[in-house]
Amino acid sequence: MEAVQGVKRIEKNFSEVLFLLDNIDDENFNGKISRINFLYEDISKQREILKSNFGVEELKKYNKFLTDKAKVIKEKFDNIIAEKSEKSISLKKELFLINNKKKLINYK
């Protein structure tokens, strides 16, 4: 396998991960995360193959492009985590208020 083919496979997987992250929601979260995990494993395998078969200088040609895509993926994951965290905090507050109302009603 030549380096370009391996890099193109990683690039294709990165693109699919970005697409999945752009279209993730509560209903399809588990399925999409499962697919993302599979793609991550393939990316890791390809990366190891490339590292073992090609020199550092050969692979540095593609480093900037792939690093940029990886950063975008990381940012998307960070945004999803922040969104889920905010939702969790909001639900926690809402449950607390409902519980207080329930206590007041029982007190009367």
Q: In the chain, where are the structural domains located?
A: 3-79
Token reading at 94: 């809402």
Contacts made by residues 72-76, CB under 8 angstroms, sequence distance 24+: 72/18, 73/14, 73/17, 73/18, 73/21, 76/18, 76/21, 76/22
Q: Indicate if the pLDDT at residue 92 is higher than 70.
A: yes
State pLDDT tens for residues 35-56.
Answer: 999 999 999 999 999 988 887 7
- Each residue's pLDDT tens digit, 82-91: 999 999 999 9
